[in-house]
Amino acid sequence: MTSFVEAGLVLAQTPGQEAVTAGEAAAFWVLGPLAVAGALGMVFVRNAVHSALWLVVTMLTLGVFYLIQNASFLGFTQIIVYTGAVMMLFLFVLMMAGKDSSDALVEALRGQRLAAAVFGVGFAVLLSAALVRSLRDTQFAPPLDPTSPEGGGAGGLGELIFTDYLFPFELTAALLIVAGLAGIVLAQRDKRDEGVKRSQRELVEARFRGEYERPSGRPGPGVFATGNSVATPALLPDGSIAEDSLSDLIESTPTARRVSPPGWMRALDSAEQAEGVHGDEGDGAGPSTTDDEGSER
Amino acid sequence: MTPEYYLLLSALLFSIGAVGVLVRRNAIVVFMCIELMLNSVNLSLVTFARIEGTLDGQVMAFFVMVVAAAEVVVGLAIIMSIFRTRRSASIDDTNLLKY
């Protein structure tokens, strides 16, 4: 951490120098276009996830700008809070809610994009002109000493926050609590929307009234002395196979095919054989060969 | 180069964010554009603090960060609940308050 701060201080200006050092100017001309490119990329990329990643670029460069301007605490807060927490929150919500996150190509309002572009350019020009005119004769104050506790570090900021800005700081505490509660309440799924859950008695009555496919649950697999695999079919009282006990997922197991209706003894026999085939399968023979064997018999 | 270049950059980023709010139709992306505008204002606040040689601007930027974090939580929760009921994050589909 300290080495990072020192790296920021190398770029940051120290007292008794010109308003902007050459190093700072170089950093500005490298990172400034990067920030603008990130912002433009965020606005003009169709995929919302890519937009979020472009915004991360802009926020990281802004964090470095804070470091350069002797605001080391804010710079690290920017990187940790914005690119670390806020953008990850955005990405989570995008993954959950932004399935069809690419924008529609059609304009909802005719000529809206052109009007927005004109507005953006005009706004930027007006703002820049006002800034340049108003700051023409500004005397830039000597920069704060970044190594002193009153600089841009946590010490100086903390002193100000807990003296002059104590009341707003307490208000932010209330704001954060309210926001956390609001997030929980708003994001919570409302149980009442999911319909009334039936009690067990109501469920039984509905089953015997014929609202369901069958009154009972589906039979489980057969459990015999020779095998209790889930692929073993259950047998009905007359020895025939209970079709409901065959799972769709393991339909292809040879056991289920080979058992034939006539007698439960024969069913047991073939189930035993199938067990043996199962054991051989482990040696590398694929399931297709066992299927072939089954069809030969 | 003077510190006011930072202010010009901040004005540019703010304008880009505003255009994004106007142009994009996905609620989450619109929200990201608002974040960009807040960030650019933060940059100008830090630059003002540097021009003035005091820390008050940085304290303001700190408070803006706190408010932005709270706003993100509430806004994303609202977007999530709208998405849950309407299966869409597009701001064109949300028109129940229209009439």
Q: What is the pLDDT of residues A235-283, one digit of tens each?
A: 888 877 777 777 776 654 545 444 444 455 555 556 656 655 444 444 4
Q: Is the pLDDT of residue A156 over 80?
A: yes
In chain A, which residue's Cα lies nearest the Cα of B3?
A20
| B38 assigned to some structural domain | yes
Taking CA–CA distances from A98, the nearest residue in chain B reads B89
Query: Do A11 and A132 reside in the same domain of the chain?
Result: yes
CA A135, A136, A137, A138 dihedral sign is: positive
Give the structural domain span for B24. 3-88
Q: Identify which of B8, B18, B71 has the shortest CB distance to residue A120.
A: B18
| Domain assignment present for A215 | no
Which chain A residues contact residue B76 at CB under 8 A?
Answer: 89-90, 93, 183
Looking at A137, A162, A185, the residue that finishes a domain is A137
| Selected residues 207-236 of chain A with any CB under 8 Å from a CB in chain B | none
Q: Is residue B96 part of a domain?
A: no
In a domain, A276, yes or no: yes
Q: For A53-70, what is each residue's pLDDT tens digit?
A: 999 999 999 999 999 988
Within-domain flag for B95: no
| Closest by Cα among A101, A85, A119, A187 to B29 | A101
pLDDT at A164 over 70: yes
Cα dihedral B16→B22→B23→B26 (10° resolution): 110
Looking at the structure, do residues A132 and A234 belong to the same domain, yes or no?
no
Per-residue pLDDT reduced to its tens digit, A106-143? 667 788 889 999 999 999 999 999 998 988 877 787 77
Q: How many domains does the structure of chain B reveal?
A: 1
Chain A residues within an 8 Å CB radius of B48 = none
Q: How far, in Å, CA of A252 to CA of A90, rounded?
A: 45
> Is A29 in the same domain as A133?
yes
A103–B67 C-beta distance less than 8 A: no
Q: Which domain holds residue A238?
A: 221-283
- A173: confidence class by pLDDT, cuts 50, 70, 90: very high
Residues A19-63 have pLDDT tens digits of 678 888 999 999 999 999 999 999 988 888 899 999 999 999 999
Residue A193 resides in a domain: no
Residue A253 lies in a domain: yes
What is the predicted pLDDT for the residue at A159?
87
Q: Do B51 and A150 touch (CB under 8 A)?
A: no
Q: Total domain count for chain A?
A: 2
Q: Residues of B with CB below 8 A from A134's CB? A: none
CA distances from A213 to A183, A204, A234, A243, A260 (A): 42, 13, 19, 14, 26
pLDDT confidence of A146, banded at 50, 70, 90?
Answer: low
- Note down pLDDT in tens along chain B; length 99 residues: 788 899 999 999 999 999 999 988 888 899 999 999 999 999 999 999 988 888 889 999 999 999 999 999 999 998 888 888 777 777 777 777 665
Q: Domain end: A107, A137, A167, which one?
A: A137
Cα dihedral across residues A55, A60, A63, A64: positive or negative: negative
For chain A, the straight-line distance linking the first and the last C-alpha, in angstroms and rounded, comes to 75
Do B17 and B78 touch, CB atoms closer than 8 A? no
Q: Report d(CA A66, CA A82) in Å as an integer.
A: 13
Report yes or no on A191 lying in a domain. Answer: no
Position A294 in a domain: no
| pLDDT grade for A226, boundaries at 50, 70 and 90 | confident
Token pair 């998405």: residue: B83
Interface probe for B, chosen from A14, A70, A171, A186 (most Cβ of B below 10 Å), is A186
Residues of A in contact with B20 (CB under 8 A): 39, 42-43
Q: Are residues A262 and A132 in the same domain?
A: no
Domain harbouring A80, CATH code: 1.20.120.1200
Q: Confirm whether A230 is domain-assigned.
A: yes
- Other C-beta atoms closer than 10 Å to the C-beta of A132 total 13
pLDDT above 70 (res A187)? yes
Q: Is the pTM of this model over 0.90?
A: no
User: Closest-CA residue in chain A for B84?
Assistant: A97
- Nearest residue of chain A to residue B14 (CA atoms): A124
Measured distance CA(A231)–CA(A222) in Å, rounded? 8
